[in-house]
């Protein structure tokens, strides 16, 4: 079903047919269609959906569309929708809504749920506590399998996942995990503590979401329990929420590698002034830092006047150095993010990048020497100066590109900040210094 058919049925006021068609479409696809509808059509189509499907569609909508719908429906409709949402989706919604909308919702909730919601809203942004849900299956470790089955059947319809259950003691301390498969394959009179996985993987409510994502990747989990400081089980985080975190973190790193401040809004929904403000800071920093390049050229002005041919190769040398540094920084940043490289590996990184740089630099220098000396007909001293500069530039650029992200990690900064724009600025200055120093030595010109 596509948007054109939706619009056609709305224009024809063929609501029975529209309702019938919508029942055969996945909720996530309906949500994508909603993003293209105006307010009137959004409300009209939304009210045609069964309550259960409407709530699921609502959970897939963008924050902007959720806010729009919240103002269009009455309090009773909004309360019914939120009652059908999983608890973590409800918290995500409330975190993004204006205070007046949150007050309207909390007014229609029970005292217990209000207390839970307020507790969740107090967790720091981007923490495990802000991601978790309370809709999980917990089992007392002294339970027999037959009693566990009875409990699972009774509470499963209201839980987000039942594939992994969590064994606790009388004070709700996390003791272990047990899969539904293990329960199904065990005898009725076996205790949960006898089949549970002891020493479970868990995270704390205040752990950073990036650490949580690393735990999921490392142990191939579908869900991870969340405990408080006393190791009491307070919730779980499911893989669908972690996938969103991974996307957020990847997007944030991508922006920072391009010297742009991260934004939570989509590109088309973000204002021009906002985008300009997020870019101008780094552009200003890089522009000012690039004046170092100008100082180097000014210092060797006489050398350039003596051998004008030297100026011809400056763009090529600077581009080569910048590209070499960017290659190294990209690989090292990825290694740091995935946990393949740590701060203590800095010497290994330097040694590896130095060898890579030497091989690549020598090959580039040989090809460049043949091109400059044989094909373009420049003198031997100029050709040697340019070619030797290439080797040294590539070596320096790759070492700098490999070290800077590790330094950032050591300083508890995002390694992505040390990506191509900053590295290129540093390498450009270094490249010109090497170039002119070699020209003075090899060609014999005076400064």
pLDDT at residue 348, rounded to an integer: 94
What is the band of 366 on the pLDDT scale with cuts at 50, 70, 90? very high
- pLDDT tens for 266-314 read 666 677 887 777 777 767 766 776 677 777 777 777 777 767 788 889 8
Rounded distance, CA 150 to CA 165, Å?
A: 13
pTM assigned to the model:
0.61
pLDDT at residue 261, rounded to an integer: 64
Domains and CATH numbers, the chain: 3-122 (1.25.60.10), 138-245 (3.10.580.10), 290-442 (1.10.357.20)
Q: Say if residues 81 and 109 touch (Cβ distance below 8 Å).
A: no
pLDDT at residue 311, rounded to an integer: 85
Rounded distance, CA 245 to CA 264, Å?
A: 12
Q: What is the dihedral of CA 120, 122, 125, 126, to 10 degrees?
A: -40
pLDDT at residue 390, rounded to an integer: 95
pLDDT at residue 202, rounded to an integer: 95
- Of the candidate ranges 5-14, 161-170, 175-184, the one whose mean pLDDT is the lowest: 5-14
- pLDDT tens for 27-41 read 888 888 888 888 888
Rounded distance, CA 114 to CA 117, Å?
A: 5
Parallel, antiparallel or unpaired: strands 174-179 and 197-198: antiparallel
What is the band of 104 on the pLDDT scale with cuts at 50, 70, 90? low
What is the band of 258 on the pLDDT scale with cuts at 50, 70, 90? low
- pLDDT tens for 419-439 read 666 777 788 888 888 988 888
pLDDT at residue 130, rounded to an integer: 86
- pLDDT tens for 311-334 read 889 889 988 988 898 889 888 888
Q: Please, what sign has the CA dihedral across residues 441, 444, 445, 447?
A: positive
What is the band of 197 on the pLDDT scale with cuts at 50, 70, 90? very high
Answer whether residue 48 shows pLDDT above 90: no
Answer whether residue 447 shows pLDDT above 60: no
Q: 48 or 362: whose pLDDT is higher?
A: 362
Q: Say if residues 435 and 299 touch (Cβ distance below 8 Å).
A: no
Q: Please, what sign has the CA dihedral across residues 71, 75, 77, 79?
A: positive
- pLDDT tens for 112-144 read 776 677 677 778 888 898 888 888 999 999 999
């Amino acid at each position: 079903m596509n948007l054109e058919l939706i619009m056609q049925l709305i224009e024809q006021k063929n609501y029975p047919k529209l309702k019938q068609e919508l029942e055969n479409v996945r909720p996530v696809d309906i949500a994508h269609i909603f993003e293209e509808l105006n307010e009137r059509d959004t409300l009209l189509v939304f009210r045609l959906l069964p309550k259960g499907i409407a709530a699921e569609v609502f959970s897939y909508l963008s924050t902007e569309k959720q806010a729009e719908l919240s103002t269009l429906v009455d309090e009773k409709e909004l309360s019914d929708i939120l009652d059908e949402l999983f608890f973590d989706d409800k918290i995500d919604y409330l975190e993004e809504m204006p205070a007046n909308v949150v007050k309207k919702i909390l007014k229609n909730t029970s005292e217990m749920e209000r207390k839970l919601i307020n507790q969740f809203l107090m967790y720091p942004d981007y923490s495990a506590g802000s991601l978790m849900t309370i809709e999980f299956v917990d089992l007392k470790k002294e339970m027999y399998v037959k009693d566990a089955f009875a409990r699972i059947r009774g509470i499963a319809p209201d839980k987000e996942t039942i594939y992994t259950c969590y064994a606790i003691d009388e004070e709700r301390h996390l003791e272990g995990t047990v899969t539904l498969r293990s329960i199904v394959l065990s005898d009725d009179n076996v205790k949960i503590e006898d089949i549970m996985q002891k020493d479970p993987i868990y995270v704390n409510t205040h752990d950073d979401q990036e650490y949580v994502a690393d735990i999921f990747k490392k142990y191939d989990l579908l869900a991870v329990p969340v405990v408080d400081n006393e190791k009491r089980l307070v919730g779980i985080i499911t893989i669908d929420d972690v996938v969103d975190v991974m996307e957020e973190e990847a997007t944030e790193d991508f922006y920072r590698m391009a010297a742009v401040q991260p934004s939570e809004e989509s590109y088309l929904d973000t204002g021009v002034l906002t985008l300009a403000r997020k870019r101008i800071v780094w552009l200003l920093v890089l522009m000012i830092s690039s004046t170092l390049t100008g100082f180097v050229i000014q210092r060797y002005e006489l050398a350039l006047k003596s051998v004008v041919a030297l100026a011809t190769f400056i763009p090529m040398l600077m581009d080569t150095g910048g590209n070499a540094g960017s290659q190294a920084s990209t690989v090292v940043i990825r290694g740091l993010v995935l946990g393949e490289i740590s701060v203590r590996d800095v010497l290994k990184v330097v040694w590896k990048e130095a060898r890579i740089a030497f091989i690549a630099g020598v090959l580039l220098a040989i090809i460049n020497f043949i091109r400059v000396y044989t094909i373009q007909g420049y003198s031997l001293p100029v050709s040697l100066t340019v070619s030797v500069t290439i080797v040294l530039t590539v070596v320096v650029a790759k070492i700098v590109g490999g070290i800077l992200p590790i330094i950032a990690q050591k300083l508890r900064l995002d390694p992505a900040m040390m990506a191509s724009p900053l590295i290129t600025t540093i390498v450009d200055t270094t490249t010109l210094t090497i170039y002119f120093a070699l020209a003075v030595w090899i060609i014999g010109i005076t400064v």
